Amino acid sequence: MHLPRRRALTAGAVVLASVTALAGCASTSSTAGPDTSDLEIGSIDLAAAGCPDTITIQTDWNPESEHGHLYEMVGDDPEIDAENARVTGPLMAGGEYTGVNIQVRSGGPAIGFQTVTSQLYTDPEITMGYSSTDEAIQLSAELPTVGVFAPLEINPQMIMWDPETYPEVETIEQLADEGAVIRYFGGAAYMEYLMGAGIVPAEQADGSYDGTPATFVASGGADGQQGFASAEPYIYENEVSEWGKPVAFQLIHDAGFPIYAAAVSVRADDLESMSGCLEEFVPVLQQAEVDYFADPSETNDLIQTLVEEFDTGWVYSPGVAEYSVETMQELGLVGNGSNDTIGDFDLDRVQEVIDLVTPIFAGLDTPPADGITPDTLYTNEFIDESIGF
């Protein structure tokens, strides 16, 4: 059985309370890291740029292809900490050692399904982590972050349905017009938007989704359901034997909710002190994404190894990994966007999201910081404009 796909940000005060709950049990463990004494530093020296000995990045879920840019940087013979779902290795750029290590930490079940932002503020060992635009806005008053690299141009989240049951449906709004119940993880900010915009009537929004296919299958095609366009269409057609056929879908992005998902972000107060490191490291991140999609095979082997070693109940087959890589490119989930550069932020788009979600979060008693602007949330300062697909 598949564990639930990573949850959308819970649109409520519980995400703020999680920091208090975690503060007393923040991880203080660390690893000395692999032996790199025989490695020669190449053309990029992150140690000289002021980066920590180990750049620790917290992800939002188990290892998967959407995180390929991170695992692409992990060098040979890494240390795998299965108990804590972490991997540490020499940080490589273009096959050359950069003078520091990288540690990639899994999220989701490995951190009790807490937000990555909460982890950033409870564990000082974490250098940076994934954050979506809606999460960054909602937590901006108490737990401010600044995104420095966008690995995903478009959020993979979608609503899917059975094309045999609804052959004329092409959008979420049309699905709702057919009377379909749409199942999702309760409290998701995007669903609050869909309901507020009149796209999904409140009485058809069912927040009981638990991540398993049972209810979707049992509905016989009558219901819609949230998922990720980079995984579930393959899983439901090829790995859910009770279904075994295609699904249709529309991206949440295309329904008018254009957040950036999984933006690599730092604590706002760390931005200035980390600027020297980020100036050198962010272009490494950009190039790692380009390199991963050029040839993902070796990195996908590492992802498969980690999934098996961590043994969290997460199922991620080589078929899903291959489908994910192909689909992310075909749908433009990864790409250069409107220019020739990968990983930069469109600040007009960010302002659109601020305008959409500010009244939602204010109504939930988790208002954004006063005077929040796109520049508060993201910066393109460290992006190398010459790097792209």
Q: Which CATH number does the domain housing residue 38 bear?
A: 3.40.190.10
Using DSSP's 3-state secondary structure scheme, residue 161 falls into strand
For the chain, what is the largest distance between any 2 Cα atoms, rounded to a whole number of angstroms? 64
Dihedral (Cα; 132, 134, 139, 144), 10-degree rounding:
50
CB 129 within 8 A of CB 373: no
Q: Is 366 found in the same domain as 238?
A: no
Residues 168 and 305 in one domain: no
Residues 19 and 112 in one domain: yes
Do residues 272 and 140 share a domain? Answer: yes
- Residue 26, domain member (yes or no): yes
Only one residue has tokens 């939602």, namely 360
Tell me which of 205, 240, 255 is where a domain ends.
255
Q: Are residues 244 and 266 in the same domain?
A: no
Asked whether residue 214 is assigned to any structural domain, the reply reads: yes
- Overall domain count for the chain: 2
Residue 212 structural domain: 157-255
Clarify whether residues 185 and 268 are in a common domain: no
What count of residues does the chain have? 389
73 within a domain of the structure (yes/no): yes
Tokens 């915009």 correspond to 197
Beta strands 182-183; 54-58: pairing state: unpaired
| Strand 54-58 versus strand 128-131 pairing type | parallel
Same domain? 26 vs 115? yes
- Residue 36's pLDDT is 85
Tokens of 230: 């980079």
pLDDT more than 70, % of the chain: 92
pLDDT at 17: 39
Give pLDDT, residue 26: 35
> What pLDDT was estimated at residue 5?
54
Structure tokens belonging to residue 270: 């760390």
The answer to the question of residue 389 being in a domain is no
Q: What's the pLDDT score for residue 321?
A: 97
Instruction: Tell me if 123 is assigned to some domain.
Output: yes
Q: Is 232 helix (H, G, I), strand (E, B) or coil?
A: helix
DSSP state of 10: B
Whether 95 and 107 share a structural domain:
yes
- pLDDT tens per residue, range 197-229: 999 999 999 999 988 999 999 999 999 999 999
Among the candidates 225, 255, 285, a domain finishes at 255
pLDDT of residue 12: 47
5 in a domain, yes or no? no
64 and 94 fall within a common domain: yes
**DSSP collapsed to 3 states, 77-103:** CCEEECCCCEEEEEEEECCEEEEEEEE
Note whether 24 and 119 are same-domain residues: yes
Whether residues 58 and 176 share a domain: the answer is no
d(CA 13, CA 15): 5
How confident is the prediction along the chain (389 residues), in pLDDT tens digits per residue? 445 555 455 444 344 434 433 333 333 334 457 888 889 999 999 999 999 999 999 999 999 999 999 999 999 999 999 999 999 999 999 999 999 999 999 999 899 988 999 999 999 999 999 999 999 999 999 999 999 999 999 999 999 999 999 999 999 999 999 999 999 998 889 999 999 999 999 999 999 998 899 999 999 999 999 999 999 999 999 999 999 999 999 999 999 999 999 999 999 999 999 999 999 999 999 999 999 999 999 999 999 999 999 998 889 999 999 999 999 999 999 999 999 999 999 999 999 999 999 999 999 899 999 999 999 999 999 999 999 99
Domain end call among 231, 255, 279: 255
The reported pLDDT for the residue numbered 117 is 95
Residues 191 and 111 in one domain: no
Q: CB neighbours of 355 closer than 8 A, spacing ≥ 6? A: none
Cβ-contact 307, 109 below 8 angstroms? no
Please list, in sequence order, all residues whose beta carbon lies within 8 angstroms of the beta carbon of residue 242, skipping any fewer than 6 positions away. 213, 217
Classify residue 387: in a domain, yes or no: no
Q: Is residue 382 part of a domain?
A: no
